[in-house]
Amino acid sequence: MASPGARLQARRPVGSHGVRSPRCVRWTRIDRIPRARPGPEGDEAEPTRQKEDLLLEPDAKVLFVACLTGLWTGSGVVGLNKAIHLVEDSVAHVDWHGVFVPEALAVPVLGGATVSLAKVAVGKEGGGRLKPIVDSVLAAVTLGTGFSLGPEGPSVDIGKSLAKSFRRAVPGGCYTALLAAGSAAGISAGFNAPISGVFFALETVLERESTGDAAATRGEPPPKEALDLAVVTLASVLAAIVSQIGLGSEPAMTIPEYRLGSYLDFPLYLVLGFLSGGVSQTFTKSVAIGTDWVDGLLAARGVGREVLPVLGGVAVGAIAMVSPEVTYQGFQNFNRILLQGGDFTIPALGLICVSKILATSISRASGLTGGLYAPTLFLGAVTGSLYGKLLDNLLAGTQLESLVAGQESFALVGMASTLAAVCRVPLTSTLLLFELTRDYGIVLPTLGGVALSFLFVSSSEKLEKPQQTLFPTAGAAADRESAKEAAAVRAAYDEGYRDCSLGKGNKYTVNAGGGSSSMGED
């Protein structure tokens, strides 16, 4: 067993031809590091200078790469939004009078056909090295033609793709932090909310293990949480700056004037939290059932996946003919619900809620490119507006009417509560609403609604069989590949090691107790 003063030493294993591998680094323990012997002036400064070089140079390199990730992610998100507007403008200038089908049906079908042809053209590899660009183009076509998805998912994918492209430029132990930086940059640029981007990375990608005290006890190098936080914050801030330059500094959506009421209506926000949790659970199951049903249909009937976007366009177009608010319209439909929610009747809001769930489930199951963040926020706004409308009708003409918050306040809290329950990011949801409203007064009711919605979904899942969630839970990696890498790093932590780096073939090689174990892709 290693002594309390043990340290780590990186040794490159010798390959079959006697050449030391430049990538595969195995961490081994040594009991002590020889101290520099006193000698002539300047002899003791050399070990210190070497130690500083080992610590500062890799950190500076990682921070520089994080800055590049933030800048390029912000530019990519700006380009994605410009492309979506370009597709929307192109569709708007088409003369649909000569078409035998309504415009609401023709536009999604046209978009689905375009996506299908593009997927057939790029093949199964999805474009190879150009896959991030291909996915961004497909997302622009998908959203520009009104499918019920959102741009924030593709924005995060842009950041993750850029982070992966820098994978070999940083030490293996910093890759997860770089991946988190890309995700944070995507959220920051997409919503113009850098603080929310940082917390999104903390809740979904970065490991939140407290290893500082244990590391100090074992005499290991200091934990890297400070460097990870710096990497994520830099990327998030720079992405937000680029987004503000390219898209403007105004909030992503128009926040109406709202009335919070008194502290006596706080229990009403808790009830809204439970209601949002129920809607979130229904939404999550609907998306999962739709995807499973399509997979079963493909296996049983032998239907090619290339026709799914077209069929999805037909279904979404049919729903849009009944409820046009469910299509992607940037944040215009958000603004109508938030600003004009009182103009919608209770049955109309209920129809929009059900239609949005169906349209998003179909769009997701059809293999179209887009995220679930915007649909989740919209669904939460409709849920909160519906709840507020019910309260207004129940309390109309009573003395309690002046004590209860306005319908707009419940719509805002409903947005955060639903996002927290579906995406498993309670802190991010609260901070996102705070950054959008820039009002601290709404934080308290939001925390209450978020806590209850998150609790509702978590408790419901314990009563059922474990199911894969739509988004990674807190502490999990952002995708399957990085999840395996995080598991390998965690195994190294369990054995008392603070770091390990990528081995040959994109595998983690961990020297544990004299033996080595590796984990790679399937």
Position 124 scores a pLDDT of 73
Whether residue 408 contacts residue 381, with contact meaning beta carbons closer than 8 Å, is answered with no
Tokens describing residue 195: 């603080």
**pTM tops 0.85:** no
Position 420 scores a pLDDT of 94
Whether residue 197 contacts residue 188, with contact meaning beta carbons closer than 8 Å, is answered with yes
Position 98 scores a pLDDT of 66
Question: Does this chain's domain 60-247 share its CATH topology with 263-462?
Answer: yes
Position 403 scores a pLDDT of 74
Position 516 scores a pLDDT of 38
- What does the pLDDT look like over 448-462, one tens digit per residue? 999 999 999 988 877
Instruction: Break the chain into its structural domains and give their ranges.
Output: 60-247, 263-462
DSSP per-residue string spanning 377-429 = HHHHHHHHHHHHHHHHHHHTTSGGGGGSPPHHHHHHHHHHHHHHHHHS-HHHH
Given 1.10.3080.10, 2.40.30.70, 1.10.10.410, 2.60.40.10, which CATH number is that of 60-247? 1.10.3080.10
Given 1.25.40.80, 3.40.50.300, 1.10.3080.10, 3.40.980.10, which CATH number is that of 263-462? 1.10.3080.10
Whether residue 80 contacts residue 154, with contact meaning beta carbons closer than 8 Å, is answered with yes
Position 281 scores a pLDDT of 94
DSSP per-residue string spanning 264-277 = GGHHHHHHHHHHHH
| Residues 156, 184: Cα–Cα separation, whole Å | 7
Position 449 scores a pLDDT of 94
Position 111 scores a pLDDT of 92
- Residue 62's contacts (CB-CB under 8 Å, 6 or more residues apart) are 170, 171, 174, 177, 178, 227, 231
Tokens describing residue 164: 């992966």
Q: Which residues of the chain have pLDDT under 70?
A: 1-58, 98-99, 125-127, 172, 207-224, 261, 341-342, 465-522
Position 520 scores a pLDDT of 39
Whether residue 171 contacts residue 62, with contact meaning beta carbons closer than 8 Å, is answered with yes
Position 16 scores a pLDDT of 45
Whether residue 203 contacts residue 225, with contact meaning beta carbons closer than 8 Å, is answered with no
Position 52 scores a pLDDT of 47
* DSSP-assigned letter for residue 172: G
Position 58 scores a pLDDT of 67
At residue 329, what are phi and psi to the nearest 5 degrees? -135, 35
Which among 233, 223, 175 has a CA at the least distance from the CA of 202?
233
Residue carrying the six token digits 């595998």: 507
51's enclosing H/E stretch is: helix 45-92
